[in-house]
Amino acid sequence: MDNLKNFRRSDFCGTLRVSDVGRTVSVCGWVQRQRDLGGLIFVDLRDKTGIVQLSFGDETDRRIFEKASALRSEWVIAATGTVRERESKTSKIPTGEIEIDVTELRVLGEAETPPFEIVDNTKTGEDIRLKYRYLDLRRPELQKNLLMRHEIARVARNYFYENGFTEIETPMMIKSTPEGARDYVVPSRVHPGKFYALPQSPQIYKQLLMLSGFDRYIQLARCFRDEDLRADRQPEFTQIDLEMSFVDVDDILEMLEGFVARLMKEIKGVDYPMPLPRLTYAEAMRRYGSDKPDTRFGMEIQDLSDAVRGSTFPVFADALAAGGSVRAIAVTGGAQKLTRKEIDKLVDHAKGIGAKGLAYIRWVDEAPGCSFNKFLAEGELDALCAALGMQQGDVALICADKDKVVLPVLGALRLKVAKQLDMIPEGYNFLWIVEFPFFEYNEETGNWDAMHHPFTMPLEECLPNLESDPGSVRAKAYDLVVNGTELCSGSIRISDYKLQEKMFDALGLTEEEIAAKFGFLVDAYRYGAPPHGGAGIGLDRLSMILCGTDSLRDVIAFPKVQNASEPMSECPSTIDQLQLEELHIQCTQTE
C-alpha cells in the first residue's frame, strides 16, 4: 500500500476544466469505475466536487499501467499527471472535455465490494443504505445536499453577523420544563434522582441574553424533541435561532426577509421580490384551510353558506343550524381524472381526518351531476354551480360542519388533489402567517392553553379580552411558510413582568408551577427587560426545500429512522450494570 509522502494534492477532481490543459495536477479520491480496453485504461475518479477521468495508455510507465489495471471500484487512490483534452468529450459531467494523462499513481486503500453501487438514483432500499450510511454519503446526490446545507449555514452566519448579531452558545443540559413535546432527559451521576433535559429550543436562555444587554443574538442551535417522526421531522435538529431587542413585529420580519433575499440570491441565483406577502391566521385558514398554505396554486376554499341557506338538503341545513358552515373547493378541469372511484377514495380520506362525509358535484356531460341531487329542489344545483363558478369538466368537493372541521378537511383535500392531478408548479412561494390565536381551547381539560409558548405577547388591542373572551385574543406571533412547509416560527415576547404574571394566571398556572418551571426567568424580568422578540428557522427543513428533496434524511448526515433509532450504529443501546449503578438507575423494562 502506498502513502502520501512527498505528495500534495493540487486540485479537486470536479474543478478541472479546458483552461487547465497543459497543467500538471495532483488529485485524490475514490475509484467510481475502471474500464480496461486492453491498451487503454480509463478510471473515473470521484471526490466531493465531482468526477474526473484518468487515462493510462501506451506512453504510460508499465508499472503504473499494471497498477491501474488492478484498480477496482471504491479503492482510494492519488494520481499526478498532465491535463489534456479528451478525444471523446461528454457534456454529462462538468469535466467532460478533459482528462488527466497519469504519470504517477498511488493506491492508498483497497476496498471490498460494497453492498450497493455508489451511484445516484440507486435502486437499493433505504434500510440497507442507512445501515451503511458512510457509503451512502459517498453518492454525489447526498454530498451535493450536504454541501448546500453548509452553504446555507454560511450565508446565515455572514448575514446575521453583518447585521450586528453576536453568536452565543446556550447550554445543552438544562432544566426540564416540558411544554408540548416530551424532553429527552439525562440522568445526573452527582445528583442522585435528578435529571438534566436536552433543550427543545434555547428559548429561555436567548430571552435572558436580551435581558443581559446583548441586543442581537444568533446561534445554529441543536434542539431535541422526543416525538413521533415524520418526513419533515427528526428527534434532533438544527435551527437558526435569533433574538433581537428594542423591536416589534415589523422589525423582525424585515430582518428575516433580508435573510431570505440573500439566501435565494446566493444559493439559488434568484432575485426574490420583497417584502413577502402576509396573511393573518384567520385568513389563511379561511382561504386555504391551513396555517402553512402552499400558495403556488389556487383552488381556494369557497364559502357556500349563503348560497345554500334554505336548502332542502339536511346535511347543509343541519350544519348551518348548528352554527357551522358549508364550504367547497372547485377543481377546474378535474372531472376526467377524478372519476367516481377516485372521488370515493377522497370521501374515505375526508372521513379519516375528521369529516362526517363529503358531498361532490361532478360535471362531465352537458348537465352537472352530484351525490345529493335527490335532496335538492329544482334549480338548486344550477345555483350551486354558479356560486362556485363551475363549468363543464369541473369537480367540486363540499364539506358541511363546524369551521374547525370543515376548514382543515378541505385544506387537506386541496393539497391532496393538487398533488394527485399534478397541479403544483415548480418554484418557491414564501409568505408570512401572522396574528395567530393566543389561546387554544383544550376540550379534555376544559382549559385555555397557550398556542405558542407562555412568553408570547398578545396584540395590545386584545389585552382587555384576556379574561372575558380568551378565544378572541391574537398573538404577536408569526410563521414563515414556503410551499406548504413551516420554516420559521417566532413571536414578540412579554417584557413586563406584571403582564407575564397575568398571562400565567390566564393559563391557569399556579404560583408553584410558575416557580418550578420559569422562576429564574420571571425573577430576571423584575430587573429591567427591553422589548424583544425572535424566531427559529429550521435549518434542516430549509435545506430540504432548497435541495428539492422530500425527506430530512437527505440533508442530514446521520439521520434517525421512524422509531428514533440509527441503523448504522444501532443507537440507542443498553448500557452495562456499572453505568446504571453510577447513575442511580434501575431498568424496569427492556426490549
Residue 507 scores a pLDDT above 80: no
Give the 3-state secondary structure of 272-304.
Answer: CCCCCCEEEHHHHHHHHCCCCCCCCCCCCCEEC
Check whether residue 405 and residue 435 sit in a common domain: no
Coil/strand/helix, residue 544: helix
User: 294-321, pLDDT tens digit by residue?
Assistant: 999 999 999 999 999 988 899 999 999 9
* 570 falls within a domain: yes
The C-alpha cell of 45 is what? 475518479
* 24 falls within a domain: yes
- State the pairing for strand pair 50-56/98-109: parallel
Choice between 543 and 516, residue whose per-residue pLDDT is larger: 543
Q: Are 168 and 484 in contact (CB under 8 A)?
A: no
* 358 falls within a domain: yes
Check whether residue 309 and residue 332 sit in a common domain: yes
The structural domain count of the chain equals: 3
Where does the pLDDT of residue 179 fall: very low under 50, low under 70, confident under 90, or very high at 90 and above? low
* 69 falls within a domain: yes
Where does the pLDDT of residue 19 fall: very low under 50, low under 70, confident under 90, or very high at 90 and above? very high
Check whether residue 62 and residue 36 sit in a common domain: yes
| Residue 583 Cα distances to 194, 195, 206, 413, 576, angstroms | 10, 10, 30, 50, 11
What CATH number is given to the structural domain containing 518?
A: 3.30.930.10
| Residue 468 Cα distances to 453, 465, 473, 506, angstroms | 21, 5, 10, 10
What CATH number is given to the structural domain containing 78?
A: 2.40.50.140
pLDDT at 232: 67
Domain of 252, in residue numbers: 143-277+431-577
Check whether residue 185 and residue 263 sit in a common domain: yes
Task: Write down which residue in 408, 424, 440 finishes a domain.
Answer: 424
Check whether residue 387 and residue 444 sit in a common domain: no
Coil/strand/helix, residue 574: coil
Residue 548 scores a pLDDT above 60: yes
Choice between 441 and 281, residue whose per-residue pLDDT is larger: 281
pLDDT at 152: 98
Check whether residue 435 and residue 420 sit in a common domain: no
Residue % of the chain over a pLDDT of 90 = 83
Beta-strand (E) ranges in 68-163?
76-85, 98-109
Residue 497: which of 460, 525, 458, 527 has the closest Cα? Answer: 525
pLDDT at 373: 87
pTM: 0.92
Task: Write down which residue in 356, 391, 424 finishes a domain.
Answer: 424
* 582 falls within a domain: no
* 129 falls within a domain: no
Check whether residue 33 and residue 66 sit in a common domain: yes
Check whether residue 47 and residue 90 sit in a common domain: yes
How wide is the angle at C-alpha 537 spanned by C-alphas 535 and 540, nearest 5°?
Answer: 160
Task: Write down which residue in 379, 402, 424 finishes a domain.
Answer: 424
Q: First and final CA of the chain: distance in angstroms?
A: 45
Check whether residue 308 and residue 273 sit in a common domain: no
Residue 269, class by beta-carbon neighbours within 10 Å (0-12 exposed, 13-18 middle, 19+ buried)?
exposed
Check whether residue 435 and residue 412 sit in a common domain: no
Residue 178 scores a pLDDT above 60: no
Choice between 468 and 566, residue whose per-residue pLDDT is larger: 566
Where does the pLDDT of residue 27 fall: very low under 50, low under 70, confident under 90, or very high at 90 and above? very high
Check whether residue 266 and residue 171 sit in a common domain: yes
Question: With DSSP H G I counted as helix, E B as strand and the rest as coil, what are the percentages for the chain, rounded to 5?
Answer: 30, 25, 40
pLDDT at 441: 78
pLDDT at 229: 67
**Residue position matching grid coordinates 448579531:** 165
Where does the pLDDT of residue 539 fall: very low under 50, low under 70, confident under 90, or very high at 90 and above? very high
Check whether residue 259 and residue 358 sit in a common domain: no
Residue 280 scores a pLDDT above 90: yes
